[in-house]
Amino acid sequence: MNLRQLRYFVKIVEVGNMTRAASELHVAQPALGMQIRQLEENLGVALLVRHSRGVDPTPAGATLHRHALAILDLVEESRRAVISAAGQESESVRLGLTPALMLVLGAEIAVVARDRLPHVFLSLSEAMSHVLADTLLRGDLDMAIGYDFPETPRLERTALLEEDLVFVTLPVEGAAESIPFGDLIEETLILPEQGDTVRTCVTLAAQAIGAQPNIAFEVRSVPAMKSLIQRGAGAGVLPYAAVLDEVREKRLLARRVTAPALRRTLYLAVRAGAASPRNAVGLRALIRESLGGLIATLGRLAHPLASAE
């Protein structure tokens, strides 16, 4: 049992609805559900009763709710007292994330950082991974979370997880759950610009089988790529998190890619030799914790790495 789980549980009881609680907490609903299931398993009791209108606490849940409120109040009081006693100065930290990660992790990291590191002013920037790497190397970011950052003495990288990309099209009745890469490469494709990690994954896989991608549109913007796909201009290869809402609303179809899977590695990176933020340890810890939401969203498309634990 941890403070995050207690905060999540209190919010669910207050609003009486998992979807609304996830929205107000800025957390993906699968990640919220996973945290509550872990809390129930830890305590060995059911805490919520689910019904058509939402959820209500069980008798054990109502007891936990009362105690959780007292615990969280005491934690907040302790936090304020410690900060006041330390007289710690505020610190600004610039953190970069990819567009898909900003959707899934950005709000979670910002909210948890505000609660846990109130003396940190966190500035979030969004860009494709190759742009984040360049920005980090220029010294315009303090930390960045992105994919396949280059192996160079100028960057210090920590591998967090491996993620499989998906093939995105308009909905197709009776479509298979996955598509072999050999079939994908025959499609009319909408891909990011050269240098982007998604483009590189597709290009290298095509070269391995002696094929050439049929690229109809080269687009840097993820929203623009999705718009083109929805207009029937072609198909795309994207991170699943980038099309999560459209897939749930059945406006787009996302399929796993096989033989081979299009897999890339997520890193947390800083510029080698740069002065670390005073709160770097705390930020790294909350970033690792926030990965739970991304892993829950990706399901079997995510492959966590030991270095992220």
pLDDT at residue 306 tops 80: no
Q: What local confidence, expressed as pLDDT, does residue 309 receive?
A: 47
Nearest Cα to Cα of residue 96 among 51, 49, 60, 128: 128
pLDDT, one tens digit per residue, over 218-268 is 998 999 999 999 999 999 999 999 999 999 999 999 999 999 999 999 999
The DSSP H or E segment spanning 50 is strand 48-51
Q: What is the pLDDT of residue 95?
A: 96
| pLDDT score of 164 more than 50 | yes
Nearest Cα to Cα of residue 8 among 48, 35, 28: 35
Q: Distances from the Cα of 106 to the Cαs of 28, 266, 294, 300, in angstroms?
A: 11, 15, 11, 22
In this predicted structure, the answer to whether residue 42 has a pLDDT above a threshold of 70 is: yes
3-25 per-position pLDDT tens digit: 888 989 999 999 999 988 888 88
The domains of the chain, with CATH numbers, are 3-86 (1.10.10.10), 91-161+265-308 (3.40.190.10), 166-261 (3.40.190.10)
pLDDT tens digits for range 113-129: 888 888 888 999 999 99
What local confidence, expressed as pLDDT, does residue 34 receive?
A: 87
Q: Which two tokens stand for residue 93?
A: 């930290």
Q: How large a percentage of the chain has pLDDT more than 90? A: 63
Cβ–Cβ < 8 Å for 222, 98: no
Q: Is the pLDDT of residue 190 over 80?
A: yes
pLDDT digits (tens, 9 = 90+) for 257-269: 999 999 999 999 9
Confidence label for 80 from pLDDT (cuts 50, 70 and 90):
low
pLDDT of residue 160: 95
Distance CA 147, CA 150 (A): 9
Q: Which residues pair with 126 in a beta bridge?
A: 97
Helix (H, G, I), strand (E, B) or coil at 176: coil
Distances (CA, A) of 285 to 243, 249, 279: 27, 34, 10
Neighbours of 49 (CB within 10 A): 11
CA 140 to chain centre: 22
pLDDT at 28: 81
How far, CA to CA in Å, does 79 sit from each of 107, 115, 299? 22, 9, 35
56: β partners: 49
